[in-house]
Amino acid sequence: ATRHAEMVVIDRVLDWCKQRNKDYTEVFADSVLYVTVEPCIMCAAALRLMIVYGCQNERFGGCGSILSISSDDMVNTGEPFKCISGYRAKEAVELLKAFYRQENPNAPKSKVRKKDHRN
């Protein structure tokens, strides 16, 4: 549940910096992260860098929908960051719908019985 795409990106950037002997603070400062959905509160707090996202996350959004982690003045959490919302929002929603229509072969079998639709 905590391995959201933003966390995977952070890990990959840190690994990339380590392999190339680069200062991660400079790399993150010069980076822009594009994500489909507004980052959750956890990811927004972890990133604290510039993010561009498509659609809002009205249940867990950390960049304005629920909290404003990106722009709030918070002690010992890094600098506020610019967060741009609504970039290709309709397309982002369609990508999410397509994703959730698929079945995850690794997901545990549902314990909820589907209704029998016999005539």
Identify which of 15, 52, 45 has the alpha carbon closest to the alpha carbon of residue 31: 52
pTM, full prediction:
0.48
Q: Are 57 and 65 in contact (CB under 8 A)?
A: yes
pLDDT by residue (tens digit) across 17-64?
Answer: 999 999 887 888 788 788 877 788 778 777 765 565 667 777 877 777
Identify the structural domains of the chain with CATH numbers, from first to last. 31-101 (3.40.140.10)
Two structure tokens written together for 80: 């506020």
Two structure tokens written together for 48: 């604290």
- The phi-psi region of residue 71 (left if phi > 0; otherwise alpha if psi is between -120 and 50; otherwise beta) is alpha
HSE-up (13 A, CA, CB side) for residue 102: 9
**Averaged pLDDT, 76-105:** 73
Active site (annotated) includes residue 38: no
> Quick one: pLDDT at residue 110?
65
> Quick one: pLDDT at residue 111?
65
Q: Which of 6, 38, 91, 103 is catalytic?
A: 6
Q: Which of 38-42, 82-86, 106-110 is least confident?
A: 106-110
For tokens 């929908």, the residue is 65
Residue 114 scores a pLDDT above 70: no
Identify which of 1, 3, 2, 6 has the alpha carbon closest to the alpha carbon of residue 63: 6
